[in-house]
Structures are given as structure tokens and as C-alpha cells.
Structure 1
Amino acid sequence: MRDKNGKIIYVGKAKNLKNRVRSYFHGAHNAKTTKLVSEIKDFTYVITSSELEAFVLEINLIKEYNPKYNIALTDDKTYPYVALTNEKNPRLIVTRNKRKKGEARYFGPYPNVGAARDTVTLLNRLYPLRKCNHIPDKECLYYHMHQCLGPCINKEDFDYSIYKNKISSFLNGDADSILKELEEKMISASENMEFEKAIEYRDLINSIKNTIKRQKISINDLTARDYIGVYEDNGDLSLNIIITRLGSIVQNHQTIINSYISKEDEVLSYLRQFYEINEKPKEIGISGINIENIDELLGIPYVDIKLGKKKELLDMAVYNAKYNLENKRNIYKNQVLKRVETINLLGELLGIDPPERIEAFDNSNLFGEYPVSGMVCYINGRPAPKEFRKYHIKTVEGANDYESMKEVIYRRYLRLLMEDSTLPNLIVMDGGKIQVHAAEEVLASLNVDIPVMGIQKDDHHKATIIFFKDKLIPLDKNDPVFLLLADISQRVHDFAISFFRSQKAKGFFQSRLDEIEGLGPKRKEALIKYFTTIDNVKNASIDELKKSGMPENLAKRIYEYFKEDEDED
């Protein structure tokens, strides 16, 4: 959360960001929260792939910016790491302070401190690393328990590499063998009624699983690196820059470029300006775009990132870029759909009164089979789902969009006339000239005067041009009218497609079942309701078929029918 000057004043995390943010602006709060809300002017966010990553990122950002409304994490405490030291006789320890680069290998951080300590205790029992901070003059108990090689009394050099490799592999997530051994001991203890010991093994297993949970917010790489994600869609560019310093995310920068000629030139120009006013990292990684010689053009070394946590961070940058663009579009679209002025602008564009009630149609079929149509309704620029309607095409054979549209328009408006119901102010056809003329022909026969317009689309099914009164009107994708019509077009298309798919599935389902002797309409409906798909019926046992309401003899007949069909295949 940022104040009017862009300064970060609070950092928080949430599984459901919408609900969490809403809670700040509704209901009564204490004095601190009320003061915080009064200063909030903007939000920025980062999407992580797990709650663990959110925990780690939260503390990293609080440590970096010290927001005045964060109290709990602004002291010297931080999440601990597990460190495997690079000393001559290495140790495995839990620490909150990273040493100098090269002095140890770090794993974590781990929000669950207890789990990290339990796991280190287990590994120290399994592998004979040094346990003492300073090597004493005589051996200790760990040596006699075979948990230490005893560098205090054995002065030769030991090869710890095999132990270090196993520990590193374990802490990187490869803990299957140890977990399997502990689970076997837990089961054995339980069978021997040693329940306290079994509980200890269970808790240890849970501690290990908590410790080795992977997260990519903090990595064991202290190189200052920026991860740049680029996402492009329908003429818009979205950039997300994840900035890491000392192995942790310290900042996330987002921007959207709405119009450009060359994607590569635009991104390069933006990054040049960005790094003129911001600290340059030691290196950058970039995904979503390929810019030749970017390292020379920016004066920053470029690394080709393909694997590991670095690749996961780069993917996260691209995902955040995509989400940010879609989110900004949805916010703007919702603002447009809430404004009555948008339908006024549409009316002005078409030269008609503001269309307070709009009805839109689209057809769907598969080479003429399962032909259906859908109608959606918008009132004052907003969808009215209770007014949506579905139609089975009854009089048209084959894939004939013109005749199908005529049938649906006729049925829809003849019924409204007979019931003296409210007619729309505008009819929108999800198509061009053919669909518009079909509607106009039917309306003329019914002596109904309703303006009809069509929405033509490009190869990517994006609305591009209005067809109205035999004229083509191009659309600007940033125009509120475009956003309204694009929303109508997409919604009616999805509505018709969804209805078509359900009818196709149901028709295929029933056509196969029609071949089974003795299976009447009611029991056929019971099978459809219980199993949902034909594959589920095909794979069902006789007992499962009986559970759906089939008598035993009919269940056997259905089972044998599909069994014979399988054998023929």
C-alpha cells in the first residue's frame, strides 16, 4: 500500500487479495488501521505460487522498506536459513544471518522455525558432521555416538563431500528415501503399540516436509539480478520487472504500454529510461521477447535463464505481467459497463436513441449437427443473465447460418409481440452482413422496427468493425463503445458455444444408448444424470450400473454391450 507520494506504508499478504483489501474499507477499525486507510492512495502486488513464498516475500519487503504501519516484522528478526558451512570440518546449523559469500551454502529461508530445527537435528544424527562451534581438546559424546568423526582427536583430513552432497540433495527436496524409512518406523512403532514413538516419527516426518517445501522468493545466489517478464496481447504490452538483491526480491515494477509500432523498440526504450533513474543490476534475464544485443544496448550483462529457481522467477515475472494487463483491462471494462454514458455514446455512433435494452444473438453447430442459438440481454449497458435465452434450431437442416438466424429472430420477436413484452432498442448480431440482413428481413415481415447491427471479427475472434445500415464503422480498441461491444460479442459467443457443447455431449450420449435393447427414455435419463459422460458408462462395472438405478439384467446388458464394443476395437 502506497501513500500520495508513492512511498510504501504497508506490506501484507493474502490468499484472497480482493477480500483482504475490501476488509480495510468496510466496517469499523482501530485507530491505527483507520489512519492507514486514510493515507492509502495506490496498491501494487506480486502474485506468488504458494503461501510459503508469500510469507518470505512479505518479510523481505518489510525489511527493505520498513513501512511505518508494519510493526511485527520490523525488528532484527528474520526467517532462518539452514547453513552448510564450507569449513575444513563443516557444520550444519540454523542461522538468521548469512555469512560472506563462499563461507557457507544456504537453504531456505524457512518460516516454520521449529520444523527447520527438527530437520537439522535429524540430519546431524544421520551424518557425522562437526557439532561444536570450536574444536575442543578432547572427544565429546557425539563422537562416541558415531555422530561426529572427531576432528578434535583425529588430525587427518576427512572427505566430507559424500555427506555434503546427500544433505544438499535432501534440503533441495530429494528426501524420499529418508521419509520412506521414517514412515516404516512409524508404522512399525504403531503396530507394536508404541504410540508415543509413532507420534514422534509422525511429527518428524511433518517437520521434514515443511522444511523442504520449495520456494523461489529467496535464492542462494547473492548476485544483483533483475527478472524482466514481457506479455503482449491485442496490441498492448505489459512489463513486469522483479528486482532481486542479495538473493531476495526487494521490488516489483509493473507498467503497460498501450500502443506501439515495434515491440522490441518499445521495450528497449522503456528499459533504457528505467535504468537511467534506477540502480542497474549486475545482470538481467528476460522472457517473452527477444532483443538482439540487449546487453550492449543497455550496458547490463544478459543471462540466458533456462532452468532452476531463476527460471521459476522469470516465469513468475511473465505471469505477473499477463495478470496485470488482464486485471487493468477488467477494471477499465467494468468501469465502462457501469457507465450509462457508454450506451449514449453507442447511440450517437449509430444515430439512434440510447439503446437501454440490447439483445444479441449467435449460432453454433458442428457441420449442421446439434444446431443451437443463444441470446444475451444487456440492460443499461450491463448483462442481465435472467433474460438470457437458449434456442434449438427446429426447421433448418444442415449448416445454414442465414436460415437459422431467421428462425430464431422470428420465434423470439413473434413471442414478444404476442405477449406484449418489452422489445429491445437494439439487436446485435454476432456476425456481419449476412446475419444482419437475415434479422432485418424477419423484422420487416413482423412489421417491427428495431435497429440491427453486426459485429465483424478478425481471425482471432476479436471484434473489429461494426456493420450498420450497410455501412462499416471501424472500432478503436481503447474506445468505451468497443469495450462494451467486445464484451457483448464474447459473452453471446461463449453462451451459444456452451449450450452447443452440452447438446452435443447429450446427443452423442443418447445415440449410443439408443442401441441398447430395453433401455427406455427414463432410465436413459437416469444414466446421463448419474454418469455424466458416455466414457463413464463404458467403464462402469455392473454394480456401479445398478447403483444408478438399473435393474440387474439391464445392468448386465449395458455392461456386455460396451464390453463387446471394446473387444471389436
Structure 2
Amino acid sequence: MPTKPGVYQYFDQEGQIIYVGKAKSLKNRVSSYFVKNHDSSKTTALVRKIADIKYIVVESEMDALLLEISLIKKHKPRYNIMWKDDKSYPSIVIKREPFPRIFATRQVIKDGSEYHGPYASAKVMHTVLELVRKLYPIRSCSLPLSKQNIEAGKFKICLEYHLGNCLGPCEGKQSLQSYDHNVENIRKIIKGNFSEAIRELKIMMNDAAEQYRFEEAHILKEKIDTLENFQARSTIVNPSIHDVDVFTIASDSQAAYVNFMKINNGVIVQGYTAEVKKRMEETDKEVLEVAIIEIRERLQSRSREICVPIEVDIELPNTIVTIPQRGDKKKLLDLSQRNSTHYMLDMQKQQEIVDPERHTNRILDRMKQDLHLKDLPVHIECFDNSNIQGTNPVSACVVFKNAKPSKGDYRKFNVKTVEGPNDFDTMKEAVHRRYSRLLEEGEPLPQLIIIDGGKGQLGAALESLGLLGLRGKIAVIGIAKRLEEIYFPGDSLPIYLDKRSESLKLIQQLRDEAHRFGLSHHRDRRSKEALRSELTEIPGVGFRTTQQLLFHFKTVRAVKDATIGELEEVVNKKMARLVFDYFSKQKEGQ
């Protein structure tokens, strides 16, 4: 294969295109599929199905990208990323006719009319239309208002004229010059240029006031207020930012969400978020490169500047690509990023409701990638120690299966071999007892063990696993509380997962649940120790009976002095007899 840029196509045994890709160097890119081991099972599956390869050489990488998009649209290969929607978007049209009509349409007719848009949000488009119609009355009828027809008196004014929504050009009550002047102002507003329209309205208002046409001046003042209020809601950055497209991306293992915003005069005139289904675990860079071309083509954007959060390999004629680091454009980029992230989170919530199994698989797949695990962590166990100044040390183990708590599998350990506050030995004992028991009973082992603590606790757990012959067979990590550092065996430096990462959130959920469960058990033990009294020394009398008696009689002295009948009112006859006989013998001995 040549080392030139181009597009390659993979075919299966039936001659169907299963994948289309672009490359800066065809030889290097295609050979990479066949000369290395792939982390992705999807890529491995694709390579197994390749029976034939064809390629097309082009002049530049940009040409390759455009050709790739065209071929994907035409053939819809099984392993390529997929756009979720393929709808047409509405535009505002200024018809090429005498006294032009201005309305919304989804059809573009090449008759010389002006089309502004398309708008990804019909709501935004109708808001703009409502504003311009309120400021400048224009006709809504489809009458052929030629000069000859108007002079011949073929038309009569309608209800719209009497409502003030039209100035009656059909009967010659508004001149073509006046109407075209209004259309020009509407054109400026649609393009986001409010300043010129406001300035012109102020000149007209002042002229009307100077000529004592105060009613007309008041109407113009109301129009200025309406336009300024709309501009205040729309302008979010420096109004000098003009003709800029902003693209950002948020993604998970199954889809990417690309947000697009078009800025004119500091105003967002278009906004859109696209969902792109991943087929081959494409990177954010790969998805964004395709998305920029696709969205600009769909929404017919010709902006001279594109702002992105990461470096992309695209070259568009008369267009620069920038990565803002500060200032108003960086604020726009951050706003777009929030939109793409919130859209992704909303889609994930919907997916959790509609398809919980797929939602779970996505989270576990993300965790597998983030922690570089060999197996999907369907079964996870987390350990935490609890003691207060070395008293009543306990350890807890919580179990999650399919990213959900499996409370029937939770285990608590009263530490038997450790004296004093020794977190490391406590962890060593708990881990050893847990997995020696699972091995004895032939129970399934987890794919991932999480240790609540840093390198010390992690090392103690690994020591126990080594004694059981399990070290290296089960993935183990430690999580430190201070900065949520993740420690791996044999690695002195921790890693830090994104604070918004679903993997980190699941790890934190496991850690917090282990802490809660361990603390609850420790609290119970402390309560029992605190209630340990002369009553618990009576053979056959346990903690619960002691608790009931002290709650009712308040003191041990009162229990000693109680009659058998009084005791039976609080506990059962057997317990009452044991307590009564015990204290009766004490009194006799005295």
C-alpha cells in the first residue's frame, strides 16, 4: 500500500463493506490492524472478519476525512460510528419576491431566496421569528404583490392589518422601500447583529420626538426595550466575538456526545448536541474530527474560526482551528463542555431506567478500562477496618455484584489475633479469613478487591493473598481517603481518576458502604461492652435480656431487689427465673 493519505475499506467474505477508515498514511494505518495485539475485543472481531481490502488515494488528509464521511453515509458499515438522528432542521427563509415573506421552513428551494439557519432547536428559531414580527410588521399572506396587481386594486386588506400585524402593502398603504427597509433590519437581527438595529431605532425615535410625534416615539421606545431585553438574555460574552463555531465532546464507552454552538456578535445563534454511537471504541479525537465536518455540513455553517478543547487533525479552507486557554472564548468552550456533559448524564440516566443491564455493563466496562483490568469486574469486594484507640477492632467486607450491593454476601470480622490499633495486621487477618473460607467452600472469587487505605493496607492484603496462592489471580487496588488516590500493587505512585468518572463513583460507593457497615458493627460491639455488667455474668443471660432489664429497672440494684413477678413482666419466665435465682443465692451467701 502507498504511504499517502487516503481511505481504506474492509470487506467480509460476502463482499459487504464492514468498515471504512481514513489515514494520513494508508500503509501505516492499515498494517497496524494486523501486526499488534488489540486491547479492544471489537477491533479483534473486526480483523477476523476482514476478507478483502480496497483503498482510495487522495491529495490530503482533509480530503480523506470528507471521503470517509461520504462513504459511511452511503454504505453504513457495521463497525463504523453511527449518528443517532438523521433529520432535517428548520431554517428561516426570506423569500425572493416583492414584499418578501419571512417564515420557517424545512425545505430549501434554490429560487434565489435567503435561508438563515438551519436551527437545531425549533424553539429558538420561533423565538427569533416572534421577536422580528413584534418589532417589524410583515405580511403573512402568499398573495402575488406585484406593482401591477396592487395598482389594479386586486387585493383588499385583511384582519392582520386591523390587528397591527401588517401595514397593508396589498392596498399600497406601505411602500416597497419602507417594507424592504424593515426586511433589512430583520436580516440583521436574524444574523445576531442587534447593535445596528437598536442604533437605527434610536435615531428614528429621536426624530419622531423632535417632530412632536410622541405616540410614534413611544412605540419605537418599546421596540428598543424589547430588542435590548432579548440581547441581554442572548449576549453571554464579548459582542466582538463573531462568526465562531464551538465544539466540545463528552463520552463513555458506548457513545460520544458532541455539543455545537455558533456565535455571532457574542450571541449563541445556534446550539445542538449530537449523540454518536461508537462501534470500534473510537477516541474523542477521532469522533470530534468526524463530528465537526458532519455538523457544519448539516447546519450549513461557514464560520471562519472553530474552537475545540483538544487538538484535531482537520484543515478547512479559510478557517482556523483554535484551543482557547483563557478569556471569553474559553468561557464559551466551558459552557459548551457543560452542555455536552449534562446531555451525556441525562442520556445515561434515561438508559439506567430503560435498560438497566446495558447501563451496568457500560459502567463496568468503563471501570475495566480505567483500572486496566483483565476481566469485567462483575463481582467486587471491599474491605474496611474500624476501631477507636485500639478498642473492639473489627473489619468489614461488602460485596457488589453487577455494580449493585449484594447485602446477603456482606461479612463482618471480630479481630482475634491482633492487639492494639494495628490497621495492617487487622487487614491481613480479615483478608486471610475471607478468602481461605471461600476457597474451602469452593465459592466464586471476585474479579476485583478494593482495600480502603493506602500502600500499607494494600501491602497487608497482598501478603494474605500471597499465603493463599491468590496473588496475581485477583486484581487488587487501594483507595486513600485524602485525595482519592488509587494505588496498584508494586507501584509507589498512585493514579487519580476524574472526579466525575463513573468508575471513581462506584469505587467510592463501595468504600463508603464498607465504612458504614464496619462502623455499624463496631458501634454494636461498643454498646455491648458498655452494657457489660453483673447481669451478663449470669449463666444463660445474654446481651438482649440485660438490655431489656436495665432499660426497665434502670440499675442492677433495682433488678436484684425485684420480685419474680416483676421480672416476668419484662422478660420471659425462664430468664426471670435465672436472674431471680442467681441473686437469691447471692443474698443467702451474704
| Larger gyration radius, structure 1 or structure 2 | 2
Provide TM-score, normalisation by structure 2.
0.36
Q: TM-score, normalised by structure 1?
A: 0.37
